[in-house]
Structure 1
Amino acid sequence: MLNTRVCHCEWGDPVVNKLDNALSFQQQALGLRSFRQQVLAGNIANADTPNYKARDFEFSKVLKATVAGRPGENLPLAVTSMRHIQAGAANGPTRLMYRVPAQDSADGNTVDMDVERAQFSENAVQYEAGLTFITGQIKTLMSAIQS
């Protein structure tokens, strides 16, 4: 049976805030890595789509802005009717840029599969490293709590 005893500490919210702050950076980095993986997967999936333009974003620049409290650079969409649905966070945490192709293709597609595979693999390794790091942080905190 699971022990469901609740501890009411004298410290209250400051303890929770410190725990949240300790994990916040890695949480934001993992969220951005996850979003980038989706973007790169979309590029790969559209490698044969005529006139598709490969997209990406500068991870380090966006992470710095997110940590500094300036998340997202999405532009608001113009609406011509009050019944239009407003776009918001569903677009992602940042404005995507178009990748500049090394060589033009006949069908106007800018996806370079070598570049996309390399970026996808690197991002996946970075994501796994972030998971390993945050798992280590949580284990250390759990060890400190149980002592």
Structure 2
Amino acid sequence: MFEKIEMMRMARALGQHSSQRQITVARNIANADTPGFKAEDMQPFADSYRAALAPLRTTDPRHLDAPDWSPAARNSVAGTGVSPNGNSVSLEEEMLKAAEVKRGHDLSLGIYSSALDLMRTSIGRRA
């Protein structure tokens, strides 16, 4: 029932995006000392949500879309410095990303909670 309401669908997608981005940030931090490790990041939520609504067009029917779980669905971080051992993780940038992830997660919970309160009120129940 709730998946038909666009606001609920968007809040759920934002929560899932925040969860996936938290995993990516945690992986980057865990590999901060791994030689040759390249930091990764996911595309912004607005771009990924827009792409989910309008799937990629293929030029040939034999082409396959990249699944969400594949590394091709993520963007590697560009413009960060690389240490002498080839590692491109910046702990400062990863901590900023973690704060953005928390903000996105809190926003999705707030939207979801407000939408539930609105629905409860519309059917005559108090929150």
Q: TM-score, normalised to structure 1's length?
A: 0.68
Measure how far apart 1:20 and its partner are. Answer: 3.6
Matching residue's letter, 1:120: A
Moved over 4 A (4+): none
| 1:33 to 2:18 alignment | yes
Task: Give the 3-state SS of the residue equivalent to 1:115 in structure 2.
Answer: helix
Residue aligning to 1:128: 106
Q: 1:26 to 1:95 in 2, by over 3 A?
A: same
Instruction: State the distance in 2 between where 1:140 and 1:17 align.
Output: 13
Measure how far apart 1:122 and its partner are. Answer: 1.3
Say which of 90, 96, 111 aligns to 1:112: 90
Q: 1:92 to 1:137 in 2, by over 3 A?
A: farther
| 1:47 to 2:64 alignment | no
Matching residue's letter, 1:136: S
Larger Rg: 1
Q: 1:100 to 1:18 in 2, by over 3 A?
A: closer
Structure 1 spans left out of the alignment, 5+ residues: 1-15, 76-87
Matching residue's letter, 1:54: A
Question: 1:69-88, aligned counterparts within 5 Å?
Answer: 69-70=54-55, 75=66
Task: State the aligned residue count.
Answer: 117
Instruction: State the distance in 2 between where 1:93 and 1:32 align.
Output: 15
| 1:146 to 2:118 alignment | no
Structure 2 spans left out of the alignment, 5+ residues: 57-63
Instruction: State the distance in 2 between where 1:93 and 1:29 align.
Output: 19
Task: Give the 3-state SS of the residue equivalent to 1:146 in structure 2.
Answer: coil
Q: 1:94 to 1:64 in 2, by over 3 A?
A: farther
Task: Give the 3-state SS of the residue equivalent to 1:53 in structure 2.
Answer: coil
Q: TM-score, normalised to structure 2's length?
A: 0.77
Identical positions, percent: 21
Aligned CA-pair RMSD: 2.6
Q: Which has the higher contact order (CA 8 A, sep 6+)?
A: 2
Question: 1:1-16, aligned counterparts within 5 Å?
Answer: 16=1
